[in-house]
Chains A and B, each alone.
Chain A
């Protein structure tokens, strides 16, 4: 399949290590944040979300941290696997409607 992005920031991690992907968001009024995973040739896939009244949320092998003071979001993936290789996007939602603004993606490469 075709590449999602050829000039994205890239994070390379070894299989089994933990990965941390960072995102700076722009709107201090945003109240809902989502991390998406996009594999080559596919649409974005929901990973985990967090609301602005929380600073941490955990899922299966993934944790999202939210720092509203500096408008920063991070995604932590524990025990990274080859299947985690993809481009990861954060998205922010402002207001009552589901209007998402996506950030710049990060390509995660998992090496064996």
Chain B
């Protein structure tokens, strides 16, 4: 079984530019999560989807961050415009149901210059 797929693995952009990250969860997993991980810290939840519905986006900075999961499968997280403080690893995870074990992808490391 393929794991959670994320792309790109690395992204370097200049501040004020837009950036997008893509995630394909494990087949059959209806719950999808986006986390942000700063260096030396644990992941912090940005948004959680149940199928195509965002059920928890309380930690998503909505002035510059947006996410979508239009068909309830893969998802895109966007930042526009990016700021220096957005440099971090963006992790995607999926689970079978809201209380299932979460499986993480390898993450996208974003560097904003």
Which residues of A line the B interface, CB within 8 A? 2-8, 32, 34, 41-46, 49, 89, 91, 93, 96-100, 102-105
Contact = CB atoms under 8 A, between A and B. Distances in A.
B40 A99 contact: no
Interface residues of B, number: 27
Interface of B: 4, 31, 39-45, 48, 55-56, 91, 93, 95, 97-107, 109
Contacts of A49: 101
Kindly list the 4 A-B residue pairs having the minimum CB-CB distance in the complex, ordered from nearest. Answer: A102-B42, A43-B104, A5-B40, A89-B42
What is the interface of chain B mostly: helix, strand, loop, or mixed? loop
Given A7-B40, A104-B41, A105-B40, A99 B56 contact: yes
A44 B56 contact: no
B56 to A, nearest CB: 7
Given A2-B109, A99-B56, A44 B98 contact: no
Chain A CB within 10 Å — which of B31, B40, B56, B100 has the most?
B40
Contacts of A89: 42-43
B104 A98 contact: no
Nearest to A9: B40
A100 B102 contact: yes
A91 B42 contact: yes
B17 to A, nearest CB: 22
B41 A105 contact: yes
A105 B66 CA distance: 28
Given A8-B40, A43-B91, A100 B109 contact: no
A102 B109 contact: no
Contacts of B106: 41-43
B105 A43 contact: yes
Nearest to A93: B99
